[in-house]
Structure 1
Amino acid sequence: MRFEAFIREMVQILIDYQPFVRLLLRLRGNSPAELRALTRRREFDARMSAIVLQAQLAGLIRDDLDPTVVARLLFGAMNSTVDWFRPSGRVSPDELTEALLALVFHGVAAPATGA
């Protein structure tokens, strides 16, 4: 699924370029370079929104949520990792990715037990 692949790739990029992403996320558009970076960030937001919409239209994910809101929530969760995640820490990059995907696709509620 393209939606899942995009999330996996984004997490890997965030891990591989953690210091640069941390800096990018703090830009406010005070220079031409910062403005270009902010434009690129908006392009990523739009791309993710389009991927969410495609997945919704294909019936792969729920369609009762605004695709832009979903994209921004996902980026918020992913982008926050640059502040706290350490690749050599207790959680591996693969475990981080799988945890994010589990949250996205299954939430945090315990699975219902059959009665």
Structure 2
Amino acid sequence: MSAPSSTRNVAERFADLLRLPHSVVDHMADFIQQQFNRSANSFSLVEAGPHLPVQRALLLHDRHDLNVPFSDGEAIAASWPALNFRPTNGLGHNRIMRDPSVLEQVVEFLD
């Protein structure tokens, strides 16, 4: 639910929230590269999602999410053909996890 599309975008939003210089984001990316021998963005759902060994996946994302832009959900859906993308309206970033109709869709998907 409400997943970010890019690890770089998450790091940049985090830096903005804490008013850190964007050079910190570059250092974080360098650290991930050194530790895992792969780019930080290779962990993003836009990059990794289509290659996950799953038959199907579900993503619900609210059009009015103030924490993770709706465009992130759209980007994930565009890059991952097997993904079942279901937009919601008016639930934001947190209420989506408690909404009865969303929970019903998740249970139905898992059945």
- Which protein, 1 or 2, shows the higher relative CO under an 8 Å CA cutoff with sep ≥ 6? 1
The structure where strand makes up a greater share of residues is 2
